[in-house]
Amino acid sequence: MGYVLLVCFILLFVGLYGVFKKAGEQGWKALVPVYNIVIWLKILHKPWWWVFLVIVPAVGFYMIAIMVVLTANCFGKRKFGEHVIAVVGFFGFIPWLGFSKELEWLGAPKQEQKRHWLKEWGEAAVFAVVAATLIRTFFFEAFVIPSGSMESTLRIGDYLFVSKMSYGAKVPSIPLKIPFTHNTLPFTETTPSYVDWVTIPEIRLPGWSDVKRNDIVVFNFPEGDTVWIKNRNTTYYGYMRELARNENRTVADVRKQLIEGDSIIVHPVDKEDNYVKRCVAIAGDVLEVRGTQIFINKKEEITPGFPQFFWKFNASNLTMDDLYDIGIADDYVIQIGGDSVFNNMVDVPNPSLRQFLSMVDTASPWLYPAGVSIADDDVFPHDTTHFKWNRDNFGPLWIPKEGATVNLTIDSLPIYERIITVYEDNKLYVKNGVIYINDQPATKYTFKQNYYFMMGDNRHNSLDSRYWGFVPQDHIVGKPVFVWLSRGEREGLRTDRMMSFVSPDGLSKSYLNYVVVLIALYIGWSLYQSKKKKDAEKKKPAFQKKKK
């Protein structure tokens, strides 16, 4: 998908070649990165310093949208519908303007060239909001990795562009909200940024592909429909189960207490928090986890990237600086012993594993045994009587598929209960050992949509499907395609990760060096042109200079 975006911008620059020639500029200038933006602004009669806004990630998308509309105006395309087509299909619209023999460059009207800056920026800001909303909703959205659940494939502080088109963009079911927000107002954690007075049925536009096994996927957190406001990082449902277990109370009693205390907020599907994980199983698969290995349909699955696990080790001669040197940061270390002796569980990046093992006295993976339910390991489906599963030994579990039918029993109901009641909106209850769906006795159930099983590459530090179950198709948001910035708390800017494409195997090589070289070439070219112009001015006869 990242390459599709690259092709779109190449087509934009090719189109500008024709636009520049019609506007009286040399066409080759459209093919020089950054310099082409300067010339573009020049023919639009816009300030040259807008170029700094254009090259800022995220903001640049909105500025490009404004410039595309202004270019359309210069060809007499001023209707709102034409503007929408120009922004949405810029990769085809600009080449059409540049190479169509019927269209002539009219230029910006003089009254527009001399408008007051406040009016100009006001109109630009309004359109930028509209264009940005369209882009953010249907094409690309900025996203930052907030936790280490996908280490070391995606790291904390990676700033991504997420493609909404990959799996098909969703039309927002809640259209009335503050622009550029997700579910809460800026600088708040509980104040909604939307109102649900108007709702739209779920509509998904066609995408490039379906979700595939091992894809890295951004999705709405399935248990994010209800949030415990005192800690958004703890699932409301998990907190209820923990409180009920620790205080020997029923879940219903705990829920009543939280509701009466106004301790929760409720979000519709497309306003639930966004999560990013790896899809390890798709609809129709049978998944099983055995230790460090995933099995799909009884066959070993080789997971791309670098899956990580907790290790228990003892090292008498290691210091924290030694751990930093091999890529082990503070947030990996759970417990540190005294006297420079580490006896703790640590999440070790696989590329550093061999070096790490050579430096310690003893080390072994920390894995839960099979057939045992761990009290603090509250895994799905949260029924320790019938399912003796844990994070390291999980399944076998069949992933529900649209149109497929399963037999319902009291024993299997915990697996499908949330799907039937929450994700597919049915009334379900059990009476005298009989399961009722919509007040009718039910021994079978047919699924209305596909489901997926997501796991973090950081297997022992990931709140994923092992703990809350399936991800419904209507919760899928998009696919991460590009890392434009990466910043670590300890190491600062990670230039080796910036300007990289995202794939199931991890990140491509960084293209940052190429960007720096192009900017340097532009600066050098600009200085050369400036000097050339000054030299030409000096050579002019005195009477020509005076006349000018």
More confident position, 346 or 267: 267
Question: Are 114 and 39 within one domain?
Answer: yes
Is residue 36, in this structure, part of any structural domain at all? yes
* pLDDT value at residue 278: 95
Residue 123: the pLDDT is: 61
Q: Are both 94 and 134 inside the same structural domain?
A: yes
Phi, psi dihedrals of residue 365, rounded to the nearest 5°: -60, 145
Q: What is the pLDDT of residues 310-327, one digit of tens each?
A: 777 776 666 667 766 666
What digits encode the pLDDT tens for the residues 227-263?
A: 887 777 778 888 888 888 888 888 888 888 888 777 7
Bridge partners for 100 per DSSP? none
b/e for 118-143, b at 16 or more Cβ within 10 A?
Answer: eeeeeebeebbebbbbebbbbbbbbb
Q: What is the pTM of this model?
A: 0.74
pLDDT at residue 2, rounded to an integer? 52
**Is the predicted pLDDT of residue 284 greater than 60, yes or no?**
yes
Instruction: Tell me how far the alpha carbon of residue 253 is from its chain's centroid.
Output: 36
Sequence-distant (≥ 6) Cβ neighbours of residue 487 within 8 angstroms:
157, 159, 493, 494
**Best CA proximity match to 447, nearest among 467, 477, 473:** 473
Residues 435, 320 share a domain: no
Question: Which residues, 6+ apart, have CB-to-CB distance to 171 below 8 Å?
Answer: 137, 200, 202, 203, 204, 205
Last residue of a domain, one of 452, 474, 493: 452
**Which tens digits make up the pLDDT trace of 329-350?**
544 443 333 333 344 445 555 5
**Residue 10 falls inside a structural domain:** yes
Residue 352 φ/ψ, nearest 5 degrees: -95, 0
**Domain boundary, last residue among 452, 473, 488:** 452
441 and 327 within one domain: no
pLDDT of residue 272: 83
Say yes or no: 61 and 126 in one domain. Answer: yes
**Model confidence at 97: pLDDT above 60:** yes
Could you tell me if 353 and 413 lie in one domain?
no
pLDDT of amino acid 360: 74
CA atoms within 13 A on the CB side of 445: 28
Q: Tell me what the mean pLDDT of segment 380-402 comes to.
A: 93
**Domain that includes residue 327, residue range:** 310-365
Q: In sequence order, what are the residues at sequence separation of 6 or more whose Cβ sits closer than 8 angstroms to the Cβ of residue 321?
A: none
* pLDDT classification of 328: cutoffs 50, 70, 90: low
Mean pLDDT of the chain: 81
Q: Which two tokens stand for residue 315?
A: 């090292």
Whether the pLDDT of residue 167 is over 50: the answer is yes
**Which position has the higher pLDDT, 271 or 109?**
271
Confidence class of residue 401 from pLDDT cuts 50, 70 and 90? very high
Residue 40 located in a structural domain: yes
134 and 20 inside one domain: yes
Q: How confident is the model at residue 478 (pLDDT cuts 50, 70, 90)?
A: very high
- Looking at residue 335, what is its pLDDT? 38
**Same domain membership, residue 411 and residue 438:** yes
- Return the pLDDT at 451: 97
**Segment 30-83, tens digit of pLDDT:** 888 888 888 998 898 887 777 877 776 556 777 788 888 889 889 988 887 888
Three-class DSSP category at 94: helix
Report the pLDDT value the prediction gives residue 342, as an integer from 0 to 100.
43
Dump the DSSP string for 433-495.
Answer: TEEEETTEE-SEEE-SS-EEEEE-SBTTS---HHHH--EEGGGEEEEEEEEEEEEETTTEE-T
* Cα–Cα distance measured from residue 79 to residue 73, given in angstroms and rounded to the nearest whole number: 9
Cα 390-391-395 angle, rounded to 5 deg:
65
pLDDT digits (tens, 9 = 90+) for 212-229: 999 999 999 999 888 887
Q: Which is more confident, 50 or 27?
A: 27
Residues 430 and 361 both lie in one domain = no
Least confident of 25-29, 50-54, 159-163, 478-482: 50-54
Tell whether 261 is covered by a domain.
Answer: no
Surface-to-core class of residue 483, CB atoms within 10 Å of its CB (0-12 exposed, 13-18 middle, 19+ buried): buried
Q: How many domains does the chain have?
A: 3
Highest mean pLDDT among 83-92, 254-263, 371-380, 421-430: 421-430
Instruction: Name the domain boundary from 401, 417, 452.
Output: 452
Residue 163 falls inside a structural domain: no
Query: For residue 460, is it within any domain?
Result: no
Model pLDDT, residue 534:
75
Percent over 70 (pLDDT), the chain: 84
* 466 or 204: which leads in pLDDT: 466
Least confident interval from 24-28, 62-66, 349-353, 443-447: 349-353
Q: Check: CB of residue 274 under 8 Å from CB of residue 164.
A: no
The alpha-carbon radius of gyration of the chain (Å, integer) is 28
pLDDT value at residue 548: 46
| More confidently predicted of 57 and 486 | 486
Residue 177 has pLDDT above 80, yes or no: no
The answer to whether residue 265 is domain-embedded is no
Residues 345 and 390 in one domain: no
Q: Check whether residue 344 and residue 446 sit in a common domain.
A: no
Q: What pLDDT score was predicted for residue 348?
A: 55
- Residue 334's pLDDT is 38
Nearest to 54 by CA among 43, 75, 73, 68: 68
Q: For residues 206 and 108, which has the higher predicted lDDT (pLDDT)?
A: 206
- Does 294 map to a domain? no
| Pair (6, 57) in one structural domain | yes
**Residue 235 confidence (pLDDT):** 84
